[in-house]
A and B are shown apart, each in its own frame.
Chain A
């Protein structure tokens, strides 16, 4: 799952990124509101964690611009402002949830999962396709009654395809969602992961549309 973290404090951003990456989230970080607006308009993310007090345009303004541009990405506001008026303002501008600093990392992860579930219209933490069930919270995949061991990146590719079920994701989109900006990777990396997934879960779970991308039916 690809997350854009918008936080001006580098130390904190680094800590949150590490926490989330340890939980198998793919996190990209920007430190300014303008950069966040640009990144969210150009690239695909599953969720945005947004600080309110940013240099340049504020978090309120970022979420406002996103919603005006019909971008419905789930936004979790993360801030030191604990006044009810700030929370109300953030939610009214279009944020989906609000977490107050200092927070517990486990709570942050739980809220991210809940937000993603809500966005994809599924009330549980499990994503299913045929006899394959992916438990996002437990980081486990079951095929029938058997647990299947996946690498973190294979898990991410499967999770993204399940989250965007019915839609075609291009190789570039999948690369962005799974790897983000920070990693150097082989241009065939996604193809390799898809190949491994088919081998472990069966050929028919991921459909390839030549020249377009992949989708889970």
Chain B
């Protein structure tokens, strides 16, 4: 089985090639067949001409006419050109008249009369029937017969070159219509193939146009029977993928939800110990356990956000959102938690920076970007948030990252610096939101006055 890169091209090339080959074979056959038929017709014509002359001669002899002086009034060569010019025939005759020749010989070998001096005159070589004669200058096709009663000979002839020319012309004329039809036929075949493959093209377009999260079924009823099975299988696949995605989403959401109560139990009891314990060491251990619990709570929260992003996208239609007030709220909230670290935030913006976006998702995006920046920024440094019409840029001062770290940071459960608290999901959530809203997220080291990492969200 050979590889087919394009069904349409394959069908076009195969069908047109087959038709062309079939047409060529048929043309060769028809050409030869037509030529043979025309040759036979010319031969029959020669025989008929000879018989007419035989009949004329016989009648003349039987009528005992004393003198038979046939006179054929052919036009001379110059007049011939003048009369017919580029025409082949008119009411005065045909310019090929003299290409047909005849001779009448009496039984004694005297040339009784002829119409063309070009036809070789050899009485000795006269034989009844057809013959091809060549006198060195040109060839002739001849038919000779002898009158059985009076013994005279009648010889009719046609010039071979004229016969060949006419035969070829007639044979070619039979091929001309089919030759002219070929481009039309090829065009029609191409059109029909395109029409025939249109449903496949429609399916391709439909799949190409849909978003990656769109797992809606394709309406199989609108497609021809040959594709119904394929579309059915595709729909089954969509259902299976959709169910698997839903199961995964539900599992994550349920697991995260169910974790809330045990986390609450642990946290409440640890806080109770913290309150009643008199031992400084015990209080320190409990404090550390609480940090671990808080980290787990953060991860559960992030998992829930991640599992709900798809559903949120479907539920929330984009609307005009002013980014600056949104960012200001989030920044104030996060900054309030940073009193001990001395980390702050500076927002640069153009007016309110109105984006057509989903507000809930934008809030999650900004919160995760800033939360991430706060986590990894050096103490007593300022995080820079720049909002423009088309971009959101967050920069925080920290150690430069290797290329591998920059790439891995966008993967789930990968933290930029393992000593930091975090779920490793923040940037994955940002990336997911960017995908859903057709934004591009890039992360790179930036080194101006101080070195750090820059995360840039750009509208596509």
Contacts and interface: CB of A to CB of B under 8 A. Distances in A.
B275 A22 contact: yes
Given A11-B265, A102-B297, A19 B271 contact: yes
Interface residues of A, number: 18
B263 interface: yes
Interface string A10-39: 011001101100100000000000000000
A15 B275 contact: no
Contact of A22 (B261, B265, B272, B293): B272
Contacts of A18: 268-269, 272
Contacts of A68: none
Contacts of A183: none
Contact of A12 (B258, B261, B271, B304): B261
Given A22-B276, A80-B257, A81-B257, A102 B263 contact: yes
Given A22-B276, A81-B257, A82-B304, A105 B263 contact: no
Contacts of B271: 19, 104-106
B264 A102 contact: yes
A106 to B, nearest CB: 8
Given A102-B263, A103-B264, A15 B269 contact: yes
Given A82-B304, A101-B260, A15 B265 contact: yes
Contacts of B269: 11, 15, 18
A12 B272 contact: no
A186 interface: no
Interface in B291-312: 293, 297, 304
Contacts of B293: 102
Contact of A101 (B263, B275, B276): B263
B35 interface: no
B267 interface: yes
Contacts of B265: 9, 11-12, 15
Contacts of A80: 257-258, 260-261, 264
A104 B268 CA distance: 7
B276 A12 contact: no
Given A82-B304, A102-B297, A19 B268 contact: yes
Contacts of B275: 19, 22
Q: Is the interface of B mostly helix, strand, loop or mixed?
A: helix
A19 B264 CA distance: 12
Nearest to A51: B261
Among B263, B268, B272, B297, find the residue whose CB has the most chain A CB atoms closer than 10 A: B268
Interface string A92-103: 000000001111
B364 to A, nearest CB: 13
Contacts of B272: 15, 18-19, 22, 105
A9 B261 contact: yes
A19 B274 CA distance: 10
Given A18-B272, A81-B257, A101 B304 contact: no
Nearest to B270: A15
Contacts of A9: 261, 265
Contacts of A11: 265, 269
B304 A102 contact: no
Given A22-B275, A82-B304, A15 B268 contact: yes
A12 B260 contact: no
Contacts of B267: 102-105
A16 B264 CA distance: 9
Among B263, B265, B267, B293, find the residue whose CB has the most chain A CB atoms closer than 10 A: B265
Contacts of B268: 12, 15-16, 18-19, 105
A105 B257 CA distance: 19
Interface in A74-88: 80-82
A32 to B, nearest CB: 16
Contacts of A22: 272, 275-276
Contacts of A82: 304
Interface in B362-387: none
B264 A12 contact: yes
Nearest to B263: A102
B306 to A, nearest CB: 14
A21 to B, nearest CB: 10
Contacts of B261: 9, 12, 80, 101
A22 B304 CA distance: 33
B316 to A, nearest CB: 11
A175 B279 CA distance: 35
21 contacts: A11-B269, A12-B264, A12-B265, A15-B264, A15-B265, A15-B272, A18-B268, A18-B272, A19-B272, A22-B275, A80-B258, A80-B260, A80-B264, A81-B257, A101-B261, A102-B260, A102-B264, A102-B293, A103-B264, A105-B267, A106-B271
Interface of A: 9, 11-12, 15-16, 18-19, 22, 80-82, 100-106
Query: Which 4 residue pairs of A and B lie closest in terms of their CB atoms, listed nearest first?
Result: A15-B268, A80-B260, A102-B264, A102-B263
Given A19-B271, A102-B263, 13 more contacts: A9-B265, A12-B261, A15-B265, A15-B269, A18-B269, A19-B275, A81-B257, A100-B260, A101-B261, A103-B264, A104-B267, A105-B267, A105-B272
